[in-house]
Amino acid sequence: MCEAARQSQLATSEPSPEIRDWLQLPAAETEYDTVHRRMLECFDESDRARVALTLLLQATDSDAGYLYGVTPDRLVLLAALPEVSSDPGLSGWLTARLAASFDSLAAEGDETAVDETRSEEGGRYLDRDGRPLEPVFLLDRESEPARIAAVLALHVPRGSFTLPAEALLKQLAHELIEHGDVPGLALGERLASDDA
């Protein structure tokens, strides 16, 4: 009888105000907090890069990709799934796609162009294993000026595929810059290697 009363009390009890507020948060806000917590749990830049790449791939239909950080001089491979040695051809191709994207953003001078996360120019790159890859840019719009923090070379499976949500791309870009993992490159700047 006591057990029945306790079960009745548990079933009718109201959640605390904190729990009620948390349950009513918009999905985007809870996703933001989840990504932020995942990045805070990482113990170094290598761990953060793997987590960022994993989150990006989980948001797509892909099981492979390469995450390159953007520095003022060059692109640096941060993480790869599956883990393989760097493909020099891929780095050069991504650098060219990045340069073309900077040129188109500067030429258009249109704020909406900054939201583009993909490069339509240059087609796709075939990696060593014959996987077609497409560049996806991670832009930190919270920095002043806005900075491209990283480039994802995303394996594009046959048929339709899903790109990571723009909010996720922006948040991961901001996290990588905030933690000092990459300096990024301001829109309108060029990689120093392009100036040579």
Question: Domain holding 109: CATH number?
Answer: 3.30.450
Domain assignment of residue 96, yes or no: yes
CA distance 113 to 79: 27
Q: Which of 42-51, 111-120, 175-184 has the lowest mean pLDDT?
A: 111-120
3-23 pLDDT tens trace:
554 455 444 455 455 544 544
**pLDDT by residue (tens digit) across 70-84?**
999 999 999 999 887
Minimal CA–CA distance to 127: which of 60, 62, 172, 59?
Answer: 62
Q: Looking at the domain assignment, is residue 3 inside a domain?
A: no
Within a domain: residue 161? Answer: yes
- Give the largest Cα separation in the chain, rounded: 84
pLDDT at position 111, please?
A: 41
Please report whether residue 10 resides in a domain: no
At 50 the pLDDT is 92
Cβ-based neighbours of 153, under 8 Å, separated by 6 or more:
65, 66, 67, 68, 90, 94, 125, 127, 133, 134, 135, 136
- 1 lies in a domain? no
CA 179 to chain centre: 14
* pTM assigned to the model: 0.75
d(CA 120, CA 67): 19
Number of domains within the chain: 1
Answer whether residue 45 is part of any domain.
yes
Distance CA 58, CA 61 (A): 7
For 14-18, 115-119, 181-185, which range has the lowest pLDDT when averaged over its residues?
A: 115-119
Question: Is 61 among the domain residues?
Answer: yes
Q: What is the DSSP string of 76-117?
A: EEEEEES-----HHHHHHHHHHHHHHHHHHHHH--GGGGG--
**What is the domain extent for residue 87?**
16-195
| Residue 43 within a domain | yes
